[in-house]
A and B are shown apart, each in its own frame.
Chain A
Amino acid sequence: MRAYLDNNATTMVAPEVVEAMLPFYGELYGNPSSMHSFGGQVKRYVDRARDQVAALLGATPYEVIFTAGGSESNNMAIRGALEALAPEKRHLVTTRVEHPAVGGVFQQLAKSGYRVTELAVESDGSLDMDAFHYALTPDTALVSIMWANNETGVTFPIEEIAEATRERGILLHVDAVQAAGKVPIDMAKAPVDMLSISGHKFHAPKGVGALYVRRGTCLAPLIIGGHQEWGKRAGTENVPGIVGLGRAAALAVEHLADVDDLANLRDRLEAGLLARCPDVRVNGANRVPNTLNVSFEFIEGESILLMLDDVGIAASSGSACASGSLEPSHVLRAMGVPFTAVHGSIRFSLSRYTTPAEIEYTIEQVPPIVNRLRSISPFVPTTM
Chain B
Amino acid sequence: MWEYTEQVMEHFRNPRNIGYIEDPDGVGEVGSLACGDALRLMFKLDDQGRIADVKFQTFGCGSAIASSSALTEIIKGMTVEEAEKVTNQDIAEYLGGLPQQKMHCSVMGREALEAAIANYRGEESPGERRLEGEVTCICFGVTEHAIERAIRENGCRTVEDITSFTKAGGGCGGCVPAIEKILARPLAEEPAPAPPPAPRKLTNIEKIQLIQRTIDSEIRPHLQRDGGDLQLVDVEGDRVIVSLLGACQGCPVSKFTLKDMVEARLRDHVSPDLVVVEESDYESVSG
Contact = CB atoms under 8 A, between A and B. Distances in A.
A20 interface: no
A161 interface: no
B101 interface: yes
Contacts of B34: 339-340
Nearest to A297: B33
Interface stretch (B56-64, B84-92, B199-207, B223-231): B56-64
B282 interface: no
Nearest to B9: A306
Interface string A105-130: 00000000000000000000000000
Interface string A313-346: 0000001111011111000000000011001000
A378 B35 CA distance: 14
B29 interface: yes
A384 interface: yes
Given A326-B167, A327-B171, A384-B20, A299 B36 contact: no
A79 to B, nearest CB: 23
A339 B37 CA distance: 11
A123 B58 CA distance: 29
A300 B60 contact: yes
29 contacts: A300-B36, A300-B37, A300-B59, A300-B64, A301-B61, A302-B2, A302-B61, A303-B62, A306-B12, A306-B62, A310-B13, A319-B61, A320-B36, A321-B62, A326-B139, A326-B140, A326-B167, A326-B170, A326-B171, A343-B36, A376-B15, A376-B59, A376-B65, A377-B59, A378-B29, A378-B38, A378-B40, A378-B59, A383-B57
A375 interface: yes
Interface of A: 298-303, 306, 310, 319-322, 324-328, 339-340, 343, 375-379, 383-384
Given A326-B163, A339-B36, 19 more contacts: A298-B59, A300-B59, A300-B64, A302-B2, A303-B61, A319-B61, A320-B36, A321-B36, A321-B60, A321-B61, A322-B61, A324-B101, A326-B171, A327-B170, A339-B33, A376-B18, A378-B57, A379-B38, A383-B20
A20 to B, nearest CB: 31
B115 interface: no
B62 A302 contact: yes
B70 to A, nearest CB: 14
Contacts of B163: 326
A377 to B, nearest CB: 5
Interface string B176-194: 0000000000000000000
A325 B57 contact: no
A378 B58 contact: yes
Interface residues of B, number: 31
A299 B170 contact: no
A325 B140 CA distance: 13
A255 B139 CA distance: 45
B282 to A, nearest CB: 43
Nearest to A326: B170
B12 A379 contact: no
User: Would you list the 3 A-B pairs with minimal beta carbon distance, nearest first?
Assistant: A326-B170, A321-B61, A302-B61
Nearest to B163: A326
A322 B36 CA distance: 11
A303 B58 CA distance: 11
Contacts of B167: 326
A327 B174 CA distance: 13
A377 B58 contact: yes
B18 A303 contact: no
A375 B62 CA distance: 15
Contacts of B40: 378
A169 B140 CA distance: 44
A238 B34 CA distance: 45
Given A326-B171, A378-B29, A303 B57 contact: no
Contacts of A299: 59
A328 B102 CA distance: 15
A303 B64 CA distance: 9
B12 A303 contact: yes
A310 B9 CA distance: 10
Interface string B1-41: 01000000100110100101000000001000110111110
Contacts of A302: 2, 61-62
Nearest to B37: A300
A375 B38 CA distance: 14
A6 to B, nearest CB: 12
Nearest to A321: B61
Contacts of B57: 376-378, 383
A306 B15 CA distance: 14
Interface in B194-242: none
Nearest to A377: B59
B58 A376 contact: yes
A111 to B, nearest CB: 13
A340 to B, nearest CB: 5
Nearest to B169: A326
A302 B36 CA distance: 10
Nearest to B40: A378
B172 to A, nearest CB: 8
A306 B20 CA distance: 24
A322 B2 CA distance: 9
